[in-house]
A and B are shown apart, each in its own frame.
Chain A
Amino acid sequence: MAGSMEWLLLAYRMPREPSTPRIAVWRKLGGLGVAKLGDGLVALPADARSQERLEWIADEVTEAGGEATLWKATLMSAAAELALARAMAAAVAAEYRAVTAAASEAMATGNVMARTVAPLRRQLRRISQRDYFPPPEREEARRAVESLMAEAVVR
């Protein structure tokens, strides 16, 4: 059985030097939460926002003297699609767990002030922007941060 989703693939190649644009592109792709399929090949579930972001990154690659092509694709195997979605969910789940751990630690050490909680909230928002297959850890992290914030407001 074939996969049921449409994916966007960015295939790109950039000169090794200068490294600054290469690192900038790499960071932006990381911020988008792409799945790394290989050297210079990344994937995202297709939607208008992902497409626009990847198009601009493709342009940035070209401007920096590299080559980039953007593809629309479906997986030939539903099992492979599930594995890809699970791997992406596992990556954000680890990030959510780190937020939950930071919130628990703040609660345990009594470091509960709005200004220490706000960055956790911001971090949570960033993670959820690259979260295409929300794992249960998302809700846990959200609850941990919000109860910490409630505590901070009470004090």
Chain B
Amino acid sequence: MRWATRAGCHVDRAACAWLIRRFTDPDAEFVFVDDPEQVPADATPFDMRGVELSHHEGDCTFETMLRVFGLDDPVLWDIARIVHEADLDDERYDAPEAPGLDVLCRGLSMILDDPAMLALAGRMFDGLYEYRRRALLLGREPS
């Protein structure tokens, strides 16, 4: 399937692309556009103004995606807390990891183009998933 989002990916879009590839569409192909009107007809847009898979009622796109795709994995919702704060920084959740994740994603988008940024950030989210999975199992931060 083809997916479209805004060029210049940051934390929310990187997290969404990772979610799509890992949990719903392993063969996902991403298209990056500067304007909503450039979205190809066969592509599903996300994290753009006025589309379903986007910010809604104070949620970031990653949270919307979890809801729309019906993903109830608690580890993903735990990551959603971090992505929400890294993206929106509105103190809805307690996420001490968020400022660090925000800076890392901003830095990556400065040195990489979108496909390379999503590939590298994808590995970062793989690691974050494993870390938070162990943390939830143990009930404490894994060492």
Sort chain A's interface into a size bin: 10 to 19
| Interface SS, B side | loop
Cα separation A58 to B50 with both chains bound (whole Å): 11
A55 in contact with B8 given A31-B90, A63-B56 (CB within 8 Å)? no
Within 8 A of B (CB), among A15-35: 24, 28, 31
Query: How far is it, in angstroms, between the C-alpha of A13 and the C-alpha of B10 when the chains are bound?
Result: 29
**A21: nearest residue on chain B (CB-CB)?**
B57
B49 touching A55, Cβ below 8 Å: yes
What distance in Å separates the Cβ of A60 from its nearest Cβ neighbour in chain B?
7
Chain A window 25-61, contacts with chain B (Cβ cutoff 8 Å), 1 for yes, 0 for no: 0001001000000000000000010001001101110
Task: Say yes or no for A109: interface residue by CB 8 A criterion.
Answer: no
Is B84 close to A, CB under 8 A?
no
Q: Tell yes or no: B127 within 8 A of A by CB.
A: no
* CA–CA, A55 and B49, complex, Å: 8
Q: Which of A24, A31, A52, A55 contacts B58 (CB 8 A)?
A: A24
- Looking at the assembled complex, report how far the CB atom of B85 sits from the nearest CB atom of chain A, in whole angstroms: 13
Q: For window 23-60 of chain B, which residues contact chain A by CB distance below 8 Å?
A: 49-50, 54-58
Q: Report the Cα distance A58→B48, complex, angstroms.
A: 12
Q: Among B8, B55, B89, B99, which residue has its beta carbon within 8 angstroms of that of A60? A: B55
**Contacts A48-B8, A55-B49: A129 and B89 contacting too (C-beta < 8 A)?**
yes
A-B contact pairs, 21 of them (CB 8 A): A24-B58, A28-B90, A31-B90, A48-B8, A52-B10, A55-B49, A56-B49, A56-B55, A56-B88, A58-B49, A59-B49, A59-B50, A59-B54, A59-B55, A60-B55, A60-B57, A60-B58, A63-B56, A63-B57, A125-B99, A129-B89
Q: Which B residues contact A (CB, under 8 angstroms)?
A: 8, 10, 49-50, 54-58, 88-90, 99
